[in-house]
Amino acid sequence: MPPPSGFRLPLTATQTFPSVAQSGQPVAYDLDGRSPIFVGSALLDKSVHPCKIAPTLQPVARVPYGGTEYEHHGRYDLLPFDPNTMEWVPTDSGRVPNGRRPVEGGYEENGAKLYHALAVVNGVKVPGKVGEHLGAAHVAFGGGEHAVREYQILCWKY
């Protein structure tokens, strides 16, 4: 059984993005319909936040933080999506679906847990973060932070 946060690849903004064999399959594609988007977690000063990872952008890690699409230049951990052990489960309003175990994505400065979310903004699936205390999924898109009440949360399959 994998750890609660899964097996991750530690990376920095200056490293070359890993091959498909290491990164796993994308969870979404950017506005152009071709550019792959992955999930990960950005290590901030006193917290770790789930983020989207877009290899075609510089820097690649983007965090919904402080009302903006925060461009993260430090260390981030790529979470290779494995459809054999993980699945996206519909939910809303910050809730973890009953009987499900979400993949842990990080934590706030106060210790509140954060999980990986996938929400739709302007017709595009965008990875981001959710926590029971947030009441919605928060995703970084188009320079801003968007709160979306209906979304999917990444959970472990049984």
**Per-residue pLDDT reduced to its tens digit, 59-107:** 999 999 999 999 999 999 999 999 999 999 999 999 999 999 999 999 9
Q: Give phi and psi for 148, each to the nearest 5.
A: -125, 120
pLDDT at res. 21:
87
> What percent of the chain shows pLDDT beyond 70?
100
Give 154's pLDDT tier (boundaries 50, 70, 90): very high
pLDDT beyond 80 at 1: no
Mean pLDDT of 9-27: 92
Residue 141 CA to residue 128 CA, distance in Å, equals: 9
Give 158's pLDDT tier (boundaries 50, 70, 90): confident
Q: How many degrees, rounded to 5, is the angle at CA 152 between CA 139 and CA 27? A: 75
